[in-house]
């Protein structure tokens, strides 16, 4: 069966520090992978999606970047975090079938 792993679960980082969130998928190949951000009490905002290794599409201009170094690995990064980067980050995959499977999320607090 397919599973998605996302870590860390929580993270507190100072302003100006770098960020690296990792997401991996098991049990499937060539998945479409996504990073979403969810501000407190708000909906899901699509940040990046990837349809294959090295292929990244950015949905909104921002302080973040994404990379897909391997088929089942998707990384969200920042060189210097801003206070506004705080939020709940969700990785998701979408295989042949429709619909998403989400990871458990990372709560990022920038202080």
Partners of 48 in the beta sheet? Answer: 35, 58
If phi over 0 gives left and psi between -120 and 50 gives alpha, with beta otherwise, what is residue 16? left
Measured from the CB atom, the residue of 13 and 100 that comes closer to other proteins is 100
Whole-number minimum distance, CB 80 to other proteins, in Å? Answer: 22
Instruction: Answer whether the bond into residue 21 is a cis peptide, omega within 30°.
Output: no
Which residues sit at the interface with other proteins, rule CB under 8 A? 6, 32, 34, 39, 41-46, 49, 51, 57, 59, 88, 90, 92, 94, 98-105, 107
Partners of 7 in the beta sheet? Answer: 22
Measured from the CB atom, the residue of 16 and 51 that comes closer to other proteins is 51
Handedness of CA 104, 49, 54, 3 (dihedral sign): positive
Whole-number minimum distance, CB 56 to other proteins, in Å? Answer: 12
Measured from the CB atom, the residue of 6 and 78 that comes closer to other proteins is 6
Whole-number minimum distance, CB 97 to other proteins, in Å? Answer: 10
């Amino acid at each position: 069966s397919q599973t998605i792993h996302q870590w860390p679960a929580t993270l507190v980082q100072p302003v100006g520090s770098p960020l690296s969130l990792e997401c991996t998928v098991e049990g499937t190949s060539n998945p479409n992978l996504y990073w979403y951000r969810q501000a407190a009490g708000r909906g899901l905002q699509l940040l990046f999606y990837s349809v294959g290794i090295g292929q990244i599409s950015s949905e909104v201009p921002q302080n973040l970047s994404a990379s897909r170094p391997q088929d089942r690995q998707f990384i969200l990064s920042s060189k210097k975090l801003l206070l506004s980067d705080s939020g709940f980050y969700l990785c998701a995959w979408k295989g042949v079938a429709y619909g998403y499977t989400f990871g458990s999320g990372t709560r990022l607090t920038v202080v």
